[in-house]
Structure 1
Amino acid sequence: MIYIVMAYLWASVLLYILMGGADFGAGILEFFSTRKSQERTRTVMYRAIGPIWEANHMWLIIAIVILFVGFPVIYTTMSVYLHIPLTIMLLGIIARGTAFTFRNYDAVKDQLQVVYSKTFMYSSVITPLFLGIIAGSAVSGSINPKATHFADAYIFSWLTPFSLAVGIFTVTICGFLAAIFIIGETKSETDKTRFVKKSKHMSIAALLAAALVFAIAFLEDIPLTHWLFGNAVSVACVALAVASLIWMWVSLFTKQTKLLRVIAGAQVTLLLVAITYEHYPVLINLKDSEGLSLLDNYGSPKTIQSLAVALIAGSIFILPSLFYLLYSFSNKREA
């Protein structure tokens, strides 16, 4: 049963990156658009994410519940030592959702629309930035459970160059996913050309951010290269991700956009497999001590069994409804 729970945890993280990431990316693309094109970008993005934006955070909630119920030691460690970036990320989600709702559904259109738009854009950047910071802090060994000072325990556990670089990389990935996913939602050739261009720009930004992550990992003596190239599975995943990146660029230049979503989703999936395979089953690396393993820090067998049954039962009811939601609004947009 523990492996079923672990599989759901990994899948929830992946789906949140793919769907929630594309959701955040909508605001990121708007943030980096010129004032002249912001209004059109906003309109196209709203039509695409408006009907389902709230459902994307379901995957984050599932991941948190799995950690809270099934892995209390790991959950406690993260929520204590990373409580500042976690709080900022959650506030960003709240601010973004509130701004999105009032900007698009407010009965009165006044000057507050400017405030709503800025809040939506800024929180769309801040939230994935701190999501990446949390991920970078968890794997880099910067969390020090033996710290005796507030700053060492609760500030420098996440405020590191490597974690910031991972945060920037996460922002670019979200923007890249949004640009790729939105191409299939556009009917206008002008819009399609604009988002193809944005996809190229965000792809380049993601590559530069990845290079920054590698450079800082080398300077801070973090074995990122070993994690990605130290075993056959990770090497194969990285090779396939590079090959799919070339395929994606060819598709963008030839405007063969039908498979772009599949390619982009496969790239992110392969990268997540590559980075987590070497870590398995450790979820958090601690400073100057052993990491926290999922296989050594789970709850009682009865709790894990009940959690696994609940996750399977929930999938049977929730996933068909979610797919129907996507299908319904997809047909509505086409109508």
Structure 2
Amino acid sequence: MLYVVITFLFLAIVLYFLLGGADFGAGIIELFTSETNKSKTRKTMYEAIGPVWEANHMWLIIAVVIMFVGFPVIYSDLCTYLHIPLLIMLLGITARGTAFAFRSYDAIKDERTQTFYNHIFVYSSFITPLFLGIIAGSVISRQIDLHATNFVDAYIFSWLNYFSVAVGLFTVALSGYLAAIYLIGEADDEKDARRFIKKAKVMNIMAVIFGGLVFITAEFENIRMAHWIFGNPVSLTAVIAASISLIISWILINKGKRKIIRVGAGFQVTMILLSIGYMHYPNIVMVKNGQNLSLLTLHAPEKTIQDLGWGLFIGSFLILPSLFYLFYSFQKRDQ
């Protein structure tokens, strides 16, 4: 049952990045849109994510619950040494959701308050995936020092380093790319579709640049990133599959197949996550002095894992059909 729980954990993380990441990416796209096109972008974005944006955070909640119940030692260490970036990320999620709701449903849409909500929405949409990526980079950077004796070493340098920041910027670019790809299929005219295609190309280029920066900073900080990805057949195959899928996606875009490319974009990001995570599994956190926090050793008692596994199974049968129906309903409504 332990492997079932671990599988649910990784699925929740991947789905949160694919759906929640695209959610944040919509705000990133708006942030880098000209004033002339901002209103149209907001309309398209609202039609795409408005009805279901809050449901995307379900995956984050599931991941947190699994960590809290199933792996309390790892959860405690993460929340202790990474509490600053975690707090900023959670504040970003809250501010973004609040601004989205107020600017969409405010009874009195005053121009000044709308501008205020818009600024909160777009900047929190940038900050949240940035710190999500910083947290992801921190858990594999070996900068977390469980034996630190001062505040700065324990709670600042555990996440504030070149590699983690590079991963954060890479995450922002991937989120923007996902959102642009998803929004291409939602555009109601050719001009808007071409505009989102252009945004997708820009975000694709930025993802490549920041991806290169991740490798450069990894070498600078003695993180074996290249070895993890290119040193084993599974990770290497995942990278090749993502690259081929990217080429196919752009061919499909040029041929006007603009809805199916969402599957390709999701596949690409999944392969990227697989290529990075496979090599050091089951070590979900890698800390200083060669220590690792392993999912296979630092888990809750067997009875707790059994109950958690069954709870996840039963919850899946209850929640997933409703979630799929929610997406289906709003897609059907728009047709």
The answer to whether the superposition gives a TM-score over 0.5 is yes
Aligned with 1:139: secondary structure?
coil
Q: Which residue of 2 aligns with 1:184?
A: 185
For residue 140 of structure 1, give the secondary structure of its aligned residue in structure 2: coil
Distance in 2 of aligned mates of 1:28 and 1:254: 26
- TM-score relative to the length of structure 1: 0.98
Alignment partner of 1:153 is 2:137: no
SS in 1 for 2:144: coil
- Find out whether 1:68 has 2:59 as its counterpart: no
Q: CA deviation at 1:14?
A: 0.3
Deviations 1:186-221, CA, capped at 9 Å, x for gaps: 221111111111111111111111011111111111
Amino acid across the alignment from 1:170: T
Is the 2:182–2:259 contact (alpha carbons within 8 Å) kept by the matching residues of 1? no
| C-alpha distance after superposition, 1:26-82 (max 9, x if no partner) | 100000111111111111101110000000000000000000000001000100000
Report the secondary structure of 2:166's partner residue. helix
Give distance in 2, aligned partners of 1:206 and 1:230: 22
2:128 aligned partner: 127
Aligned to 1:37: 37
Aligned residue type for 1:230: G
Q: Distance in 2 between matches of 1:239 and 1:109?
A: 49
Partner of 2:209: 208
The separation in 2 between residues aligned to 1:273 and 1:205, in whole angstroms, is 21
Distance 2:91 2:257 in 1: 39
* Aligned partner letter, 1:151: V
Q: Which residue of 2 aligns with 1:273?
A: 274
C-alpha displacement of 1:256: 2.8
Post-superposition shift, 1:181?
A: 0.8
How far off its partner does 1:254 sit?
A: 3.5
Indicate the residue corresponding to 1:137 in structure 2: 138
* 2:234 aligned partner: 233
Indicate the residue corresponding to 2:28 in structure 1.
28
Tell me the amino acid that sits aligned with residue 12 of structure 1.
A
Give the letter aligned to residue 99 of structure 1. Answer: A
- Deviation of 1:331 after TM superposition, in Å, equals 1.1
Indicate the residue corresponding to 1:8 in structure 2.
8
Aligned to 1:83: 83
Q: Describe the superposition over 1:156-176 as per-residue Cα deviations: whole angstroms up to 9, x where unpaired.
A: 000000000000000000000
Q: Secondary structure at the match of 1:93?
A: helix
The reply on whether 1:18 has 2:24 as its aligned counterpart is no
Q: Does 1:322 align with 2:314?
A: no
- Tell me, in whole angstroms, the C-alpha distance in 2 between the residues paired with 1:227 and 1:249: 28
* Partner Cα separation in structure 2 for residue 161 and residue 35 of structure 1: 33
Give the distance between the partners of 1:73 and 1:66, measured in 2 at CA: 12
Aligned to 1:46: 46
- TM-score (structure 2 length as normaliser): 0.98
Question: In percent, how many aligned pairs have the same letter?
Answer: 56
Question: Which blocks of at least 5 consecutive residues in structure 2 are unaligned?
Answer: none
Partners of 1:202 and 1:252 lie apart in 2 by 15
| Structure 1 residue identity aligned to 2:90 | L
Match in the other structure for 1:246 = 247
Structure 1's unaligned 5+ residue stretches are: none
Task: After TM superposition, list the pairs within 5 Å mapping 1:157-168 onto structure 2.
Answer: 157-168=158-169
Aligned-residue CA RMSD (Å): 0.8
